């Protein structure tokens, strides 16, 4: 017998109902959290012995001081920023629908920093994921 029956028979195509409701994300609050250690421009000449001055750095790149994380993790900073945003927006943790963390420095490959933030906040109803895409990550997270 040379005739073969098809292994997969075509099924009638099901049509999906089109939703009239469009879901959109809305940013209702923003927050910040920075590391405690502050390093000013004099560090580079005085501590590291580099041939530069605080004025030269400020004039060229506009930075007077920076915050360096020594004891804080990415998760610590993200949780602090999230709590600040919740406070500013007057929302509760239960109101969070999605936690997106855009970072180039996650604490671990797995679990994602967003899941760690979700756990620390107690945001049990929120979807959580990271976007690790260097500088563009922030723009992609907002998109």
Question: Per the structure block, which two tokens stand in for 20?
Answer: 């009239």
CB 123 within 8 A of CB 96: yes
* Buried-exposed string 79-115: b where 16+ CB fall within 10 A, e elsewhere: bbbbeebbeeeeeeeeebeebbbbbeebeeeeebbbb
The tens digit of pLDDT for each residue in 74-90 reads 999 999 999 999 999 99
Three-state secondary structure call for residue 85? helix
The widest CA-to-CA distance across the chain, in whole angstroms, is 89
Q: Considering the entire predicted model, what is its pTM?
A: 0.72
- Supply the DSSP symbol for 93: G
Query: What's the pLDDT at 90?
Result: 93
Question: Per the structure block, which two tokens stand in for 58?
Answer: 């400020």
Question: Per the structure block, which two tokens stand in for 131?
Answer: 């976007």
Query: What's the pLDDT at 93?
Result: 94
Q: How far is CA 55 from the centre of its chain?
A: 33
Query: What's the pLDDT at 75?
Result: 95
Quickly state the pLDDT bin for 9 (edges 50, 70, 90).
Answer: low
Q: Where are the beta strands (DSSP E) in 21-107?
A: 37-40, 65-68, 98-102
How many CA atoms lie within 13 Å of 79's alpha carbon, on the beta-carbon side? 16
Quickly state the pLDDT bin for 29 (edges 50, 70, 90).
Answer: confident
The tens digit of pLDDT for each residue in 36-74 reads 999 998 888 888 888 888 898 889 989 899 999 999 999
Separation of alpha carbons 105 and 125, rounded Å? 25
């Amino acid at each position: 017998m040379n005739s073969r029956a098809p292994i997969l028979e075509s099924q009638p195509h099901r049509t999906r109902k089109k939703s009239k409701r469009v879901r959109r994300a809305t940013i209702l609050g923003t927050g910040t959290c920075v590391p405690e250690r502050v390093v000013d421009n004099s560090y580079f000449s005085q501590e590291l012995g580099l041939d530069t001055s605080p004025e030269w750095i400020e004039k060229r790149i506009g930075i007077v001081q920076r915050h360096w994380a020594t004891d804080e993790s990415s998760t610590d900073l993200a949780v602090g920023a999230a709590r600040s945003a919740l406070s500013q927006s007057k929302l509760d943790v239960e109101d969070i629908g999605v936690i997106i963390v855009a970072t180039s420095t996650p604490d671990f490959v797995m679990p994602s920093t967003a899941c760690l933030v979700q756990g620390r906040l107690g945001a049990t109803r929120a979807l959580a994921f990271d976007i690790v895409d260097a500088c563009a990550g922030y723009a992609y997270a907002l998109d």
